[in-house]
Amino acid sequence: MSAASLLAADSMWELFSRAVSLRDYNTRVVLAGTTMLGVSGGLVGTFLILRKRALAADVVSHAALPGIALAFLLAERFAPGSGRSTGVLLLGAFVSGLLGMGMTLAIRSWTRIKDDAALAIVLGLFFGVGTALFTVVQKTKTGNAAGLRDFVFGKTASLVAADVWLIGGISVVVIVLCGGVFKELSLLCFDEEFAAARGYRTTLLDGLLTLMAVTVTLIGLQSVGLLLVVALLLIPPTAARFWTNDLKVMSGLAAVIGGVSCAGGVVLSSSFPRLAAGAVIVLTGSALFLVSLIFGKERGLWPRWRSQRQFEQRIGRSDLLRACYELLEPILGPEETTQDSLTKFEIDELELSAMRQWPHGRFHNLIATAVREGLLVATSSGGFHLTSRGAEAARDAVRRHRLWEIYLLTQTDLDPRLVDRGADGIEHVLDPDQLAELERRLGAESPHGVPPSPHPITVSTESP
């Protein structure tokens, strides 16, 4: 490695260590402000996702654009030099964002236009007006120095203490509000009609949620900008949804993911100065979303694949043991297929394979699994014996299958030729209580525990 490469690596490591240790004042300021923003965004975004208002944040951010431009023009008109005031610009954005959301709710309530179309109409209208007004701003004497582009692309790296106090204070208020009306907002998201019947003022709650969404969106404009602020509201709760079905856990996890995304993005952007902090924050959140998508406990791709694979293996094992039972039943006779008797006779591999016509590879995989789990034991002649545990499992598999077969034959109009295949899907998910209820309703109790087959069985008179 050349001396220049070593010097660059040392410099990069120095920047990273300074960022992680928070040695620089500016890093501490930016980290505190954006982390609080991420936490409040994750909480509010949870209710927006559940309320199916995911695009609301996008509408608010774009609707704020004409408000920012108008606030600057009016301030310069009546008090020259005050147009660059952050408070004035945020006030204009706040009023404009509320107006945009109000128009969206009005279109949805008073017309037959659906939510997605209403959101798209308002977003396009306000963004078009905002773009036109920004053109006017650029032609004013102070327009180029107004810094309004920071609201479009963000200025995370240049946040000052005053900005952090503003973002932190508003974030704390939003977090406290979310905690105070958590139960009411939860009920609103899951069953609005029931909430209204219980006496809750759903319109007021909806308005409060909208107000919090507008507030978080607007304070996020300074850090990540108009184009990316929606990600702070939507990515954390969406990622949290992959891990849990509990709303309290989901909201807490969304807040943590939002905070970690912002903190991680700030640290990375401090380590690599050429990377825009707002974009890195969103990319960090996207990386956490990707991890949740793959490994999330409740809805992640890996747990779902593993669960599906385990279920398929359980079905295959059950089908194999049922085939063993049905192969021995004609030899023993229906009344003699007890757990002990099933273990005494050898099962021929070729005959067992022919029972279900499994593909060669799958059949041998099922056999190997059954042997490994102690359900079958290989014999010296190349066949198999059911173990005591395997015989018990085989009897249970046949009982499940036949109870459901009998139900389909006696209680439905299903073609009898389709009954055997139709029973295959449901039998594997019947629990003991359901099996007992089927036995009671069908009168299918059997002295030896397994109902007789609804199909004719030919009992072999030859010795096995």
Residue 347: give its domain's CATH number: 1.10.10.10
CB neighbour list of residue 379: distance below 8 Å, 6 or more residues apart: 346, 385
140 and 22 assigned to the same domain: yes
For residue 262, give the nearest of 23, 15, 29, 24 by alpha carbon. Answer: 29
More confident residue, 106 or 259: 259
In the block, which residue shows the tokens 């179309």?
117
Confidence of residue 288 (pLDDT cuts 50, 70, 90): very high
Give the C-alpha distances (Å, rounded to integers) separating 8 from 5, 20, 276.
5, 18, 20
The CATH number of residue 134's host domain is 1.10.3470.10
Whether the pLDDT of residue 458 is over 50: the answer is no
Mean pLDDT of 107-123: 81
Per residue in 235-247, pLDDT (tens digit) is 999 999 999 988 8
Which of 42-56, 128-142, 246-260, 411-425 is least confident? 411-425
Number of domains in the chain: 2
Which of 194, 228, 262 lies at the terminal end of a domain, its last residue? Answer: 228
Contact in structure between 75 and 288 (CB atoms under 8 Å) = no
Whether the pLDDT of residue 95 is over 60: the answer is yes
Residue 243, domain member (yes or no): no
Residue 370, domain member (yes or no): yes
25 and 132 assigned to the same domain: yes
If DSSP states are collapsed to H, E and C, what string results for the chain? CCHHHHHHHHHHHHHHHHHHCCCCHHHHHHHHHHHHHHHHHHHHHHHHHHCCCCCHHHHHHHHHHHHHHHHHHHHHHHCCCCCCCHHHHHHHHHHHHHHHHHHHHHHHHHCCCCHHHHHHHHHHHHHHHHHHHHHHHHCCCCHHHCCCHHHHHCCHHHCCHHHHHHHHHHHHHHHHHHHHCHHHHHHHHHCHHHHHHCCCCHHHHHHHHHHHHHHHHHHHHCCCCCCCHHHHHHHHHHHHHCCCCCHHHHHHHHHHHHHHHHHHHHHHHHHCCCCCHHHHHHHHHHHHHHHHHHHCCCCCHHHHHHHHHHHHHHHHHHHHHHHHHHHHHHHHCHHHCCHHHHCCCCECHHHHHHHHCCCHHHHHHHHHHHHHCCCEEECCCCCEEECHHHHHHHHHHHHHHHHHHHHHHHHCCCCHHHHHHHHHHHHHHCCHHHHHHHHHHHCCCCCCCCCCCCCCCCCCCCCC
Per residue in 315-371, pLDDT (tens digit) is 888 888 888 888 888 888 767 777 788 888 888 888 888 887 788 888 889 888 888
Per residue in 177-234, pLDDT (tens digit) is 888 888 888 888 888 888 888 888 888 888 888 888 888 887 777 667 666 778 888 8
56 and 178 assigned to the same domain: yes
Residue 464, domain member (yes or no): no
Per residue in 11-33, pLDDT (tens digit) is 555 555 665 555 666 677 778 87
213 and 312 assigned to the same domain: no
Give the C-alpha distances (Å, rounded to integers) separating 380 from 265, 346, 383, 385.
64, 11, 7, 11
Residue 78, domain member (yes or no): yes
Exposure letters 109-125 (e unless 16+ CB within 10 A, then b): eeeeeeeeebbbebbee
Contact in structure between 48 and 56 (CB atoms under 8 Å) = yes
Per residue in 384-397, pLDDT (tens digit) is 888 999 888 888 88
Domain holding 346, by residue range, is: 305-442
91 and 184 assigned to the same domain: yes
> What residues are paired with 347 via a beta bridge?
384
Contact in structure between 57 and 234 (CB atoms under 8 Å) = yes
Confidence of residue 464 (pLDDT cuts 50, 70, 90): very low
Q: What whole-number distance in Å separates Cα of residue 369 and Cα of residue 348?
A: 17
324 and 434 assigned to the same domain: yes
Within 13 Å, how many C-alpha atoms sit on residue 166's CB side? 17
Residue 246, domain member (yes or no): no
Q: Which of 76-90, 187-201, 398-412 has the highest mean pLDDT?
A: 187-201
Structure confidence at residue 460 (pLDDT): 43
Whether the pLDDT of residue 380 is over 50: the answer is yes
171 and 42 assigned to the same domain: yes
210 and 343 assigned to the same domain: no
Mean pLDDT (the chain) is: 78
Structure confidence at residue 238 (pLDDT): 92
Whether the pLDDT of residue 130 is over 90: the answer is no
Which of 228, 260, 293 lies at the terminal end of a domain, its last residue? Answer: 228
Residue 211, domain member (yes or no): yes
Residue 451, domain member (yes or no): no
Which of 88-92, 130-134, 138-142, 209-213 is least confident? 138-142
Contact in structure between 371 and 319 (CB atoms under 8 Å) = no
42 and 175 assigned to the same domain: yes
pTM: 0.76
Which of 175, 204, 228 lies at the terminal end of a domain, its last residue? Answer: 228
Which of 51-60, 280-289, 382-391 is least confident? 51-60
Mean pLDDT of 87-93: 79
Confidence of residue 425 (pLDDT cuts 50, 70, 90): low
Residue 12, domain member (yes or no): no
**Structure token digits, residue 29:** 């300021």
More confident residue, 297 or 455: 297
In the block, which residue shows the tokens 């009897």?
395
